[in-house]
Amino acid sequence: MNPTLFTLLIASTSVFCGDQYLQKREKIIQDERRLSLGGNIELNDKEEAVNKCIMKHKHNELDYAFDSPQFFNFSHHFFFYRENIPNSKVFKIIKNMPKGAVLHVHDMGILGPDYLLNITYMENLYVCLEDNIQFKFSNKTPSSVCSSKWILMRDARRNTKDITEFDARLRNRFTLVVDNPDEVYPSITQSWGAFMDYFGTVAPLVSYRPVWEQYFYDTLLKFRNENIMYVEVRSILPNLYELDGTEYDQLVTAKAYRKATLKFIQDYPDFIGAKLIYAPSRKVDNATISKYLNVARRIKEDMPEFFAGFDLVGQEDLGEPLIEFAPQLAAAAGEFNYFFHAGETDWCGSTTDENLIDAVLLGAKRIGHAYALPKHPVLMREVVNKDIGLEVNIISNNVLSLVRDVRNHPLNVFLANGLPVVLSSDDPGAWEAGVLSDDYYVAFVGVASRTADLKMLKALAINSLKYSVLDSKEKTDALNRFNLRWKEFVNNFDCSSY
């Protein structure tokens, strides 16, 4: 063949192939977008304008993170870029955006160290200043063991030379945040150790009855301030106590919750409300599980409209696995909604990992974390078939040592497959994050595809209501109210104000 002709033929074939090639390429991209969470949502013109704005800023921030990783270095621990997040324009938009509900959050880990430090200024608080600091509200010196001695917090503070420094040290007891997380928390043992210490310190502070009611009221306020309209809160339901040492049972704790919620809705009628998931420790025996279930029955009987369901908490790798309690939990499955923590682990094929199987078989309505799910293709199909909500807490999983680089978090796989993700924040106060916006930010910019846009954000917000335990009428109402607020957000959106 004439070489010139041959060259021409190759060139023309190549151009032809090129068009076909680009079409096939675009089809794959579009197919994957449609499959991803929110991929089927159609945006109207006003939403498109918001989307254009948020995507411009998202791409700027991603490019900046790529070129100058000192600011948003998603490969590092959250504590390295935590303080930069509030400066992000994407974050500011997300903060103002209606986000629906928060469905996975633990009561004592929400409000953060400044709030807790303020509690220590209340009257009648005793403190035991030892390695694991202890608190107790009381009208007389507490009798429980203290390796130094119980003194009034007021006196302790008065005796110190430098109250600012004293309070700064005290505040450190109420947070996991440190400057050098890689050294302080080299592995899950240390991060969970500090996390458990946090709860040990905080529990006696907030379970003083007058604090408890106010604490939850203020919790709801913090959610509302981040444009959240509904919460399903997990609680171990500690026994509330009075200054004279009176202790109440768990039904009283639950009632205090409901009371605070009702007062809050009255004060803020645009807030839909809250429901309670009873979630006591998993590190117990079968007899205790039976007791738990009886407590759950009592609460459900007393306040069926406020009680959402049942879960078990604690560092999952340390047990007990769900299979230990499967007969009891299966027998009670008709009575309760289950929201089991499952698969919050890096160990594959371990009993922790197998909790995912039991969560599915026990009919969990949602699964807490489900971190290990992509390692289980059969269970992934079950999650889709049974439409089980996946409560993902991305910052929590980073801080509690499951994953350092959030871009390796399985949330990405969930989003790409359009799985029913509900984004949540677990214990945001313990790592000084906002109650949901920070998790949205990290998920949207750090984890999701560069191409994931407002459709994904809207789908996440809608999922948070869809996978709630609100009954059908409540849910319709909630979605209507959400849509109105969404419309308002979109209509009032001004890109230049960000």
Residues belonging to the active site: 344, 369
Least Cβ distance, residue 181 to a second copy (angstroms): 11
Binding site for a second copy (CB under 8 A): 10, 13-15, 17-18, 21, 24-25, 28-29, 31-32, 35, 62, 66, 69, 73-76, 182, 186-189, 317, 323, 326-328, 330-331, 346-350, 353-354, 357-358, 360-361, 374-379, 382, 401-405, 407-409, 412-413, 416-417, 447-452
Token duo for residue 238 = 């500690």
Rounded Cα–Cα distance for residues 331 and 367 (Å): 19
Based on its alpha-carbon atoms, the radius of gyration of the chain, rounded to whole angstroms, reads: 25
Least Cβ distance, residue 482 to a second copy (angstroms): 27
Tokens 């789908």 correspond to 459
Asked if 278 and 310 count as a contact pair (C-beta separation under 8 A), the reply is yes
Asked if 309 and 337 count as a contact pair (C-beta separation under 8 A), the reply is yes
Q: Which is nearer to a second copy, 236 or 357 (CB)?
A: 357
Q: Which is nearer to a second copy, 226 or 316 (CB)?
A: 316
Least Cβ distance, residue 452 to a second copy (angstroms): 7
Q: Which is nearer to a second copy, 32 or 167 (CB)?
A: 32
Q: Which is nearer to a second copy, 39 or 428 (CB)?
A: 39
Rounded Cα–Cα distance for residues 228 and 188 (Å): 31
Q: Which is nearer to a second copy, 250 or 315 (CB)?
A: 315
Least Cβ distance, residue 347 to a second copy (angstroms): 7
Q: With 0-12 CB in 10 A as exposed, 13-18 as middle and 19+ as buried, what is 488?
A: exposed
Q: Which is nearer to a second copy, 242 or 346 (CB)?
A: 346
Asked if 413 and 96 count as a contact pair (C-beta separation under 8 A), the reply is no
Q: Which is nearer to a second copy, 27 or 169 (CB)?
A: 27
Q: Which has the closest alpha carbon to 442: 405, 406, 402?
A: 406
Query: Helices (H), strands (E): how many in the chain?
Result: 20, 11
Least Cβ distance, residue 185 to a second copy (angstroms): 11
Q: Which is nearer to a second copy, 354 or 439 (CB)?
A: 354
Hey, what amino acid is at 321?
P
Q: Classify 69 as helix, strand or coil.
A: coil
Phi-psi region of 36 (alpha: psi -120 to 50; beta: other; left: phi over 0): beta
Least Cβ distance, residue 176 to a second copy (angstroms): 17
Tokens 């029913």 correspond to 420
Output the CA torsion 494→495→496→498 (10° steps). Answer: 100
Least Cβ distance, residue 382 to a second copy (angstroms): 8
Q: Which has the closest alpha carbon to 409: 299, 188, 399, 44?
A: 399
Least Cβ distance, residue 211 to a second copy (angstroms): 37
In whole angstroms, what separates CA 268 from the centre of its chain? 23
Least Cβ distance, residue 339 to a second copy (angstroms): 19
Q: Which has the closest alpha carbon to 235: 221, 215, 210?
A: 215
Q: Which is nearer to a second copy, 167 or 382 (CB)?
A: 382
Least Cβ distance, residue 289 to a second copy (angstroms): 13
Q: Classify 486 as helix, strand or coil.
A: helix
- DSSP annotation of 365 reads S
Q: Which has the closest alpha carbon to 112: 186, 185, 206, 235?
A: 206
Token duo for residue 189 = 């043992």
In whole angstroms, what separates CA 174 from the centre of its chain? 18
Edge to edge, the sheet with strand 273-278 lists 101-106, 230-235, 273-278, 307-310
Q: Which is nearer to a second copy, 165 or 301 (CB)?
A: 301
Q: With 0-12 CB in 10 A as exposed, 13-18 as middle and 19+ as buried, what is 59?
A: middle
Contacts of residue 327, defined as CB under 8 A and 6 or more positions apart, other chains included, come to: none
